[in-house]
Structure formats: C-alpha cells, structure tokens
Amino acid sequence: MDISSLVNSEDLFELQLLHPATEEPLGISFMIRSAESNEVKKIVRQHSDRFLASRKKKLTTSKVEAEYLDKAAAAIASWSWGEQQWKGEQPLLSFEKAREVVEEAGWIYDQVAGASEDRANFMKSLPKGSAKP
C-alpha cells in the first residue's frame, strides 16, 4: 500500500455543530480545513514571521491566544447556518466573521479546532479487508 496518500490535508471535513450542553445537532454545518492545510499554515507562518521580526518584543499569552483563534478561523472554509442565526443574522463567511464567532463562542472554537486538528478527519478510508492501524 502506498501510504503517501493516506492523509490529504487539503480535503475538507464536514463538522455538524453540536449544542454545547446536550450535544444535539444544531443544524449548522462548517466545512473544516485540516490544521496541516496550506491555508491554515499560511496564518501560522504570518504569526511566526511577525514574532521573529520583532525579537525585542516578548511573546504574551494574548498573542498566543490570538494565534489559536486565527488558526481556528482560517480552518473554516465555508458554513451553513441552516435556520440558526448569529447575533440576529445569517452571517456571511469572512475571516473576520469566523474569527468573531470562534472568539466569542468558546464551544464553537472547541469543535472547530478539534475537527481541524483531528488527522483522522482527513484520512482516506482503508480498503475493505484491510487491517486497521
């Protein structure tokens, strides 16, 4: 078996958002990029470049937090809010709006970041009869 194609970090994973208390589906779906995708890595590199360019400044917890939030926002490739709303509207996806959502709703951040970081979400399924790793 050629294992070079087991994981495709450019594939998208459909995340069905779950209610934070009941874990019932909310009818909201996000298409999630892998944390290893080029689009997400671009955001991580921008943060690293800024940090390295300003070596005199110290890394702070707020800067680290901002990086995590930006990374989660970049992981959202598209979304469908179904019948649900965010602050009284059906939000259009932009990096800024995604950043707002993951920053203000920690439970959404948790689900988005978890889906993006879970490599299994971006793996090809094994052929039938294959032993699972």
Helix (H) / strand (E) element for 26: namely strand 25-33
pLDDT digits (tens, 9 = 90+) for 61-85: 888 898 999 999 999 999 999 999 9
**What is the distance of C-alpha 14 from the center of its chain?**
11
Please check whether residue 74 is in contact with residue 33, taking contact to mean a CB–CB distance below 8 angstroms. Answer: yes
pLDDT value for 97: 98
Buried b / exposed e across 101-110, counting CB within 10 Å, b at 16+? bbbeeeebbe
Please check whether residue 59 is in contact with residue 51, taking contact to mean a CB–CB distance below 8 angstroms. Answer: yes
pLDDT digits (tens, 9 = 90+) for 99-112: 999 999 999 999 99
Quick check: 127 pLDDT over 60?
Answer: no
pLDDT value for 20: 97
Please name the residue that has the structure tokens 């930006």. Answer: 70
